[in-house]
Structure 1
Amino acid sequence: MLVLAGLLGTGSAVQLTRDNPAATLTTSIGSTLRVPGKPATMPWPGEGSAELMIEGLGRLGGSGGGPAKAIGSVAKVMTAFVILQEHPLNGNQEGPELTVSAEDVADYERRKATGQSLVHVVEGEELTQRDALEALMLPSANNIAHQLAIWDAGSEEAFVDKMNDAADELGLANTHYSDPSGFLPTTISTAADQVILGRAALKMPVFAEIVELPDATIPVAGQINNYNDLLGESGVFGIKTGSTDQAGGCLLFASRVKVGSRTLILVGAVFNQPGANTPEQLAATNRVVRKLLTAVRKTVKEYQLLAAAPAGKVETEWGATATVSPATPLKVVGWPGLSVPVKVETTPPAAGIAAGQEVGTVEASGVRVKLRTDAAAPEPSLWWKLTRF
């Protein structure tokens, strides 16, 4: 009997001193959450098409998703993109020189007779690659688009092939280029496709720097001015205007949108706006863009994605529970209806549960909030400790 009592006593002591098993933690937080509220009604144009995308957040919306149409000089964004892919520039590099030939001068004279957008050139003039890109993107010189194409690929046809290859690589399914300037109405695209291209082009620092210039100075032509009248307004820092009889007014644009301490990059497009001539077409385009930018600033704000309320539960092996909540509301920048990816990481308590105990984190859009227990949970009873397996 003494031996049995001793064994029982030893067993009880072992049972009572064993570590408590880890608790389990479950949450009701999904892998994506939608910003609450009614989606805003954006002032999309009544004609043509439009598209808005905010880097790091997603697509704000679009309108007029019909067939591809002429885009005018917005085509020069792809021309610059291909040139900088083939001949990268860094920092203040000017790049190699392009010598204006007699053929370049003849091309200029032919285009001048049809009222195209040009910069004056003379035979023997030397333009650096940066000069040429500035002439291409600011005053939208069709003759420089031609000269760059010949310089890079030997012919316009070969260069246009490169443009279309680049479009395929970027997934621009509704885009086709027929020329490097966009003068031909058979150079077609959509607002959505060109926003994809604009985002890719802005990742090239030299491209982003050039399209933000209000003016520049190049040989022979002297000071050249940026045709983008919205430059510097409402955070706009590019990208390219376009207008022809077939294309109407077009603008591929980028804007810095400040929300609290964050600066977001908006890339948008408004295409195919009506008008009797280029000034009327671009004025109509700019009116739409201004309305959209005003609406964006009213809509894109900080919203509560997750309240500081129970969003999970910790449960012990002995049946004690405690709810789990974010320590503070999880707030993100976005707009009503936006789907936001959410990452939840948990670290269940190894033993008892104390009030305010950190048990994980929840993160969305770079904002991380701690998950904590809302209350303490009772310790296990002596009977549970003695009888557990």
Structure 2
Amino acid sequence: MSSFRPGRLLGILVGTVVILGLGVYGPATLLGPLPAVTAIRVTPAATSTTPTPPVLSPNGASAIAVLAATTSDSSGTTSTGADGTTVSEPIATAGLDQALPMASIAKVVTALVVLDAKPIAAGESGPIVTLTAADFQSYLDYNKAGARSVAVFADEQWTQLELLQALLLGSSNNHADSVARWAFGSVDAYVVAANAWLDDNGMTGSVVIDATGLHDASVGTATDLAHLAGLAATDPVVSAMLASPASALANRRGVENTTSYLAEEGITGISRSYTDAAGVCFLFTARVSDGASSFTFSGAYIGEPTYDALTADLTALMASARAGVGPLPVLAAGDAYATFRSAWGDEASAVVGVSRTRYAWQAATPEAAKVTLEDFATARTGSNVGQVRLTVAGEKLSAALKLDEGIADPGPGWRLLHPIVMITALLDQ
């Protein structure tokens, strides 16, 4: 005959709980996932390189913007920044912020707006244009007024390319009106289209009243016009025209190239002009090279008092460019962008694995880096644990972040002694 024994029942219950607890506790701690490391973002120390900023003009208004940068990184590969056609925001401005008369820079707007409406394939001359009595009268009027002009006669035939060459290279005012009338029906219709084009291309601080720039109300900001220079320099028709300027046009008509200026300094002129209201205005690109890498920028100077002042200011700019442009370690190998700490005390950093060096102006300050990190608990030294991305001088760069020290499993002892941490990690997963 058996009798009820409470002590025995309690022992069985306690034993059962212990056995069940061990059955859950053991696997949960020994086999369960470890808690992810804690990440803290950090900022690498600034480079010790002394920047050399662009030296711009104290006169009128001026601005420069990155056009393209061809560089070699530490891995030996070559890349072209800003894809060769995208113009960044200005890297330097000086002088007045408001829009100023732009003189013949307005003719660059005319050329680009006409090419936008009636594009020409690279290497071709475009359609034949028969000039009218109105075109001949424009020539007579501008010639009588002493404004730049290239002779035309009624019923002459010019190609579209020849019209644009006379417009840009010769700064011909009558050709500005002629090509505007041909493309849009009238100069007034062209003006409407040109201002819409300026807005569409982000040059909202500028406006044109005519096709020539002789009107004082055709105005632009230095920032807008530096951007305009980049658009002109990367247009295949305009860039080819500037690279191989024509000396003779329709019927062997001569044209003087008015754009070239200080070519020995590495400058390619796009437009150079003077009016009483605008002063001396110059649109250009410039290039600095060390033989293996090159840096190209576009620029605009408006409101210069004299050509002597323009020469002095451009010479100072190019001297600052030669001093300031060079290999810039934007993302240097070993720079840390995050630190990690595990629950069991291991520490490591997320560092740039391979340098990303760009041939750029040393005064260009990168934007704040954007860092993305992976969640992990353990990883070996050198493992990819994230990525850093930033933009410098209009160019987007990125580099993989690698672990500089391994974070290993803490082992069964630590796991068994930290059940709450381990079970919490299991529940979180």
TM range (shorter): 0.7 to 0.9
| 1:293 aligned partner | 318
Indicate conservation of the 8 Å contact 2:380/2:408, yes or no: no
My pick for the range that moved more, 287-296 or 319-328, is 319-328
Paired residues for 1:104-123 under 5 Å: 104-123=135-154
Q: From the superposition, tell whether residues 214 and 294 of structure 1 become closer, same or farther in structure 2 (CA, over 3 Å).
A: farther
Is structure 2 residue 190 aligned with structure 1 residue 164?
A: no
Q: How many Å separate the matches in 2 of 1:196 and 1:159?
A: 21
Structure 1 residue 101, shift from structure 2 partner: 1.9
Q: How many Å separate the matches in 2 of 1:90 and 1:34?
A: 47
| 2:129 aligned partner | 98
My pick for the range that moved more, 133-142 or 206-215, is 206-215
Code of the residue aligned with 2:362 in structure 1: it is: W
Paired residues for 1:203-218 under 5 Å: 203-218=234-249
Structure 1 residue 136, shift from structure 2 partner: 0.4
Q: How many Å separate the matches in 2 of 1:361 and 1:29?
A: 14
Structure 1 residue 242, shift from structure 2 partner: 1.7
- SS of residue paired to 2:104: helix
Residues 2-47 of structure 1: CA deviation (Å, up to 9, x unaligned):
97887576556524233434434443249xx977666535432232
| 2:338 aligned partner | 312
Q: How many Å separate the matches in 2 of 1:221 and 1:116?
A: 21
Indicate conservation of the 8 Å contact 1:213/1:226, yes or no: no
Gaps of at least 5 residues in structure 1 are 276-280
Code of the residue aligned with 1:51 in structure 2: it is: A
Is structure 2 residue 382 aligned with structure 1 residue 356?
A: yes
Alpha-carbon RMSD across the aligned residues, in angstroms, is 3.1
From 42, 64, 69, give the equivalent of 1:28: 42
| 2:372 aligned partner | 345
Code of the residue aligned with 1:346 in structure 2: it is: L
Paired residues for 1:1-389 under 5 Å: 10-11=23-24, 14=27, 15-29=29-43, 40-55=52-67, 56=82, 58-230=89-261, 232-258=263-289, 261-275=292-306, 281=307, 283-305=308-330, 308-328=334-354, 331-332=357-358, 333-336=360-363, 338-349=365-376, 351-364=377-390, 365-377=395-407, 379-386=409-416, 387=419, 388-389=422-423
Indicate conservation of the 8 Å contact 2:229/2:300, yes or no: no
Indicate conservation of the 8 Å contact 1:271/1:285, yes or no: no
My pick for the range that moved more, 4-13 or 256-265, is 4-13
- Aligned sequence identity (%): 26
My pick for the range that moved more, 58-67 or 245-254, is 58-67
| 2:73 aligned partner | none
Indicate conservation of the 8 Å contact 1:363/1:369, yes or no: yes
Q: How many Å separate the matches in 1 of 2:370 and 2:26?
A: 43
Indicate conservation of the 8 Å contact 1:249/1:272, yes or no: yes
Gaps of at least 5 residues in structure 2 are 1-11, 68-81, 83-87, 424-429
Q: How many Å separate the matches in 2 of 1:173 and 1:366?
A: 25
- SS of residue paired to 1:121: coil
Code of the residue aligned with 1:382 in structure 2: it is: P
My pick for the range that moved more, 194-203 or 141-150, is 194-203
Q: How many Å separate the matches in 2 of 1:294 and 1:338?
A: 20
The structure number with the bigger radius of gyration is 2
TM-score, normalised with respect to structure 2: 0.77
**Residues paired across the two proteins, number:** 380
- SS of residue paired to 1:297: helix
